[in-house]
Structure 1
Amino acid sequence: MSDKKEKIARFGIATKGFVYCLIGALTVMAAIGSGGKKTGKSGVLETLSAQPFGQILLGLTALGLIGFVFWRFYQAIADPEDKGDDLKGIFNRLGYSVSGIFYGILAVTAIKYTFMGNSGSGGEGGNESVVSTLLSKPYGQILVGIVGAAFLGKAIYQLYRAYSGNFKDKVQAAELDSKTENFVLKSGYVGYTARGLVILVISYLTFVAAFTANSNSAGGTKDAFQFVQNEFGTIVLAVIAAGLFTYGFFMFVKSRYRSINI
């Protein structure tokens, strides 16, 4: 049973990598004028649904996302990596749970597209919809500000992971040859940096929505890409999108080589 759990976890991590590779590739293509589109996770599912054998691709992606959700909640509940019950450990395990919830929502969307197709529901507006709902509540601007702060904390953590190098241990434990290991570690630095920058922009957009009480100012990955292009230009957009592709590649490597305790 442990072997089956490990395979499910590895498949889930690889699927996360697949999604990020598509986000990066489609956005780079859009930036250089070779088709594609600026997109986020839900947009990737929409793109898959429009491809030949799209329902099969969506079905496999949905299964992989379910596997990743399983792994996240297993990390949170069973604590196989011994994060512990102190404040830091609880914070880490809570983060696993939140990640599991978000990817669970994405898995449900993938399942819906698999069986019912994409009815033009505009899945990219998830963050904007959440912000709109919060703004309609008492103290809504404060609640949205808290969401913005959560995104800011996540962005800082991604950048911390990149430059503290605390992601390296599991890769180095894989006993890769020195050249391969060096290449993989560099992809980790680039990938975590790019992901941190994108989340930082999402945090900024969420804070703007909080201060202006306007949910249209908020947005997800697609809106962050548009902001980067408008403010910093197409080249910067392409570089960051390529970084997200690199992050996806790094997830593929992790799915194969990282140690998984079940």
Structure 2
Amino acid sequence: MNASTTTRTGRIQARRAARGPVTEYAARAGLTARGVIYLLVGVLALQIAFGDSGKQADRGGALAEIAQKPFGAVVLWALGLGLVGMALWRLSEVVFGSAGPDGGEAKKRLLSAGRCVFYSFVAYSVLSFAAGARGSGSGSSDRQSQDVTAKVLGLPAGQWIVGAAGAGIVVAGVWVGTRAVLRKYHKKLKLGEMSTRTRRLVDVTGVGGGAARGLVFAVAGSFAIRAAVEFEPDQAKGMDNTIRSFAGTPAGPWLLVCVAAGLVLFGLFSFAMARWRRV
């Protein structure tokens, strides 16, 4: 067997490993962990909508809630490891391409790379929190957003950088919400394994949850743009204050209730993806 054949064989075996059961389990564990976090954030947001202003509706608030429960430390470690699995799955998509006929396209690989970086950061923060570094995972997302915005605004062309980042988040939010409403996730699911009733329920969670998630992203991005225009870091908002801002609209607390319920739905949708997504 010559060197070329050996190299080709090695690539084939690596690609098969990337499509194997280990990667599949990692992906499904990651989607489940994401579902738990969004479900808890949605529940916390509902509590805020109904008057409990002391709650923190973001990832840090969700981790703090888990830590207070029996076996909370075990759950935190499980979530962190699940998110590590999510990051590794996305990394495998960067290297070998994602599932589907167009999975090897550069655009798909680039999206997977961005998701790999994001979930690596989230996994690190959750595992750090589980290990006892409480400030790393449970800090207010609002304070973190303001601190980062202040540092970037202090750089040359900082306003342009923050403004561009905010615009990118708005575009991402619109993209996420639009794809959810159009049910683009169908091509990623094993629809043939679902009953008609199950498919309808998944669509309720996918459309409602994706639309709410996209709306939160878009509004958070608009706050970043405002911070850039006014050169005021305090205008930037993390997930917690972004969610709270919906109560200040003409629709009042009921819009916050709808958004919070949508985040709960997205958590449930993540569980459905963990069960039926093509990996």
Equivalences for residues 151-190 of structure 1 within 5 A: 151-171=169-189, 173-190=191-208
Q: TM-score, normalised by structure 2?
A: 0.85
**Runs of 4+ that moved beyond 3 A:** 33-36, 82-85
Find the aligned partners of 1:174 and 1:224 in 2 and give their Cα distance. 38
Task: Give the length in aligned residue pairs.
Answer: 257
Deviation at 1:7, TM superposition (A): 0.7
Matching of residue 122 in structure 1 with residue 131 in structure 2: no
Asked whether the equivalents of residues 56 and 140 of structure 2 are also in contact (C-alpha less than 8 Å), the reply is no
Asked whether the equivalents of residues 70 and 100 of structure 1 are also in contact (C-alpha less than 8 Å), the reply is yes
Residue 56 of structure 1 corresponds to 74
SS in 1 for 2:278: coil
Residue 38 of structure 2 corresponds to 20
Deviation at 1:175, TM superposition (A): 2.4
Deviation at 1:151, TM superposition (A): 0.2
Residue 109 of structure 2 corresponds to 93
Find the aligned partners of 1:175 and 1:36 in 2 and give their Cα distance. 43
Asked whether the equivalents of residues 49 and 117 of structure 1 are also in contact (C-alpha less than 8 Å), the reply is no
Residue 124 of structure 2 corresponds to 108
Asked whether the equivalents of residues 49 and 113 of structure 1 are also in contact (C-alpha less than 8 Å), the reply is no
The correspondence for 1:201, drawn from 219, 230, 243, is 219
Residue 64 of structure 2 corresponds to 46
60 and 218 in structure 1: CA distance in 2 versus 1, 3 angstrom threshold:
same
Find the aligned partners of 1:99 and 1:250 in 2 and give their Cα distance. 18
Percent sequence identity over matched residues?
Answer: 28
Find the aligned partners of 1:159 and 1:20 in 2 and give their Cα distance. 16
Asked whether the equivalents of residues 38 and 226 of structure 1 are also in contact (C-alpha less than 8 Å), the reply is no
Matching of residue 252 in structure 1 with residue 271 in structure 2: yes
Matching of residue 215 in structure 1 with residue 233 in structure 2: yes
User: Which blocks of at least 5 consecutive residues in structure 1 are unaligned?
Assistant: none
Asked whether the equivalents of residues 173 and 217 of structure 2 are also in contact (C-alpha less than 8 Å), the reply is yes
238 and 38 in structure 1: CA distance in 2 versus 1, 3 angstrom threshold:
farther
Deviation at 1:199, TM superposition (A): 0.6
Deviation at 1:84, TM superposition (A): 5.5
Find the aligned partners of 2:177 and 2:158 in 1 and give their Cα distance. 29
Asked whether the equivalents of residues 26 and 36 of structure 1 are also in contact (C-alpha less than 8 Å), the reply is no
101 and 126 in structure 1: CA distance in 2 versus 1, 3 angstrom threshold:
farther
SS in 2 for 1:116: coil
Matching of residue 11 in structure 1 with residue 25 in structure 2: no
- Whichever residue aligns with residue 97 of structure 2, its letter is D
Find the aligned partners of 1:90 and 1:216 in 2 and give their Cα distance. 37
Q: TM-score, normalised by structure 1?
A: 0.90
Find the aligned partners of 1:123 and 1:187 in 2 and give their Cα distance. 27
Deviation at 1:119, TM superposition (A): 4.7
- Whichever residue aligns with residue 239 of structure 1, its letter is C
- Whichever residue aligns with residue 261 of structure 2, its letter is A
User: Which blocks of at least 5 consecutive residues in structure 2 are unaligned?
Assistant: 1-16
Asked whether the equivalents of residues 172 and 181 of structure 1 are also in contact (C-alpha less than 8 Å), the reply is no
SS in 2 for 1:259: coil
Higher relative contact order (CA 8 A, sep 6+): 1
Asked whether the equivalents of residues 35 and 271 of structure 2 are also in contact (C-alpha less than 8 Å), the reply is yes
The range that moved more, 70-79 or 189-198, is 70-79
Residue 13 of structure 2 corresponds to none
SS in 1 for 2:184: coil
Task: Map Cα deviations across residues 27-49 of structure 1 (whole Å, 9 max, x no partner).
Answer: 11221236872411232123222
Residue 4 of structure 2 corresponds to none
- Whichever residue aligns with residue 30 of structure 1, its letter is I
